[in-house]
Amino acid sequence: MENILLETRAIGMRYGDFDALTKINLTLRQGRIYGFIGENGAGKTTFLRVITGLAIPTSGELSLFGKTAKRGLEAGRRQIGSTIEEPALHLEYTAEMNLELQRVLLGNPDKGVIEQVLRLVGLWDNKAKKVKDFSMGMKQRLGIALSMIGNPQMLILDEPVNGLDPKGIADVRSILQKLNKEQKITILMSSHILNELYLLATDYIIIHKGRIIKTLTHEELAEKCQKYVVIQMDNVSVGVTVIERELQTNNYKVMENGMVHLYGFTRDVTAVAKALQNNGILVTHISLCEQSLEEYYLGITGGANHV
């Protein structure tokens, strides 16, 4: 069985009358990449702050690397690299100077770690450049480098691809995959870009209104993200009546854009089109699609607007 790095039992966080977190029970195992998903205000950042010691929960228990006592948690947090909300960068300093400050702060005697992490994130050639002159993508990569200075076993990253263009997102994905596969580093990351998490994560944690409502592996998600037939037709109200009568099913959804998502006939799309056309329905588009992570998320949370 994979080693357990983090375990929480009934973690709660209350601010006045507001419960930011409620009875969070979670287990993270070594070598996995966890995608942390939730709308704005769902409790993602609050939970990450609890893990890293930036916030103290009002209830529950936290275990890091098997330790629950204060001293054990402090030692465990030294094995975690993190970037919460945004990288803490000194803009007037060079990339190399930023990392040197972090190395001294963490008490890492290995000066060679600076070159190592800069090469890892592709910034070695920019080591003498001031951070104020970095692009957003370079700053995000430098933030990952900062989190690696202490040679952590686990990374906690809050929105590491926020504001990046497609190339920047791909660069960060490649770095994180390399860290996970080659150095066996466990990663817990939040992101608004759910399709990106689908490409990267091995596991998913969905938080909604301060509660963990679903945890599942990539394989389990693939099973739940069912395929469906997308149909565009000239008369939707009559068309769905035909579907119910001719295909003997009411397992469909009429979307806001007028498209119909039909489930259960993914292996016989031709029969669907034929049934509609034989009943005078003009089918202008029909295709086979698969539910995305975003669609799955919206389905189980009731259609949240901001992930």
**Could you list the pLDDT tens digit for every one of the 307 residues in the chain?**
469 999 999 999 999 999 999 999 999 999 999 999 999 899 999 999 999 999 999 999 999 999 999 999 999 999 999 998 878 899 999 999 999 999 999 999 999 999 999 999 999 999 999 999 999 999 999 999 999 999 999 999 999 988 888 888 999 999 999 999 999 999 999 988 888 898 999 999 999 999 999 999 999 888 777 788 999 999 999 999 999 999 999 989 898 899 999 988 888 899 999 999 999 999 999 998 877 888 888 888 876 444 5
Cα–Cα distance for residue pair 263/276, rounded to 1 Å: 15
The amino acid at 123 = L
> Are 12 and 23 contacting, i.e. CB atoms less than 8 angstroms apart?
yes
Long-range pairs for 111-116: beta carbons < 8 A, 24 or more residues apart? 113/148, 113/149, 113/151, 114/149
Cα–Cα distance for residue pair 48/200, rounded to 1 Å: 19
> Are 215 and 34 contacting, i.e. CB atoms less than 8 angstroms apart?
no
In the chain, CATH 3.30.70.100 sits at 226-290
In the chain, CATH 3.40.50.300 sits at 4-223
E-strand ranges in the chain read 4-15, 18-29, 33-37, 59-64, 80-83, 154-158, 186-190, 203-208, 211-217, 227-233, 252-254, 260-262, 283-290
What is the gyration radius of the CA atoms in the chain, in angstroms?
Answer: 24
pLDDT of residue 278: 95
SS3 content of the chain, % helix, strand, coil (to 5): 40, 30, 35
Cα–Cα distance for residue pair 154/207, rounded to 1 Å: 20
CB atoms within 10 A of CB 140: 27
Whose CA is closest to 4, among 48, 47, 65, 52? Answer: 65
3 state SS of 168: helix
- Per DSSP, 94 falls in state B
- Which pTM does this prediction carry? 0.80
Query: Longest Cα pair distance anywhere in the chain, in angstroms?
Result: 77
3 state SS of 139: helix
Output the CATH code of domain 4-223: 3.40.50.300
Instruction: Return the CATH number of 226-290, one of 3.20.20.70, 1.10.260.40, 3.30.750.24, 3.30.70.100.
Output: 3.30.70.100
Q: What is the number of alpha carbons within 13 Å of residue 237 lying toward its C-beta?
A: 0
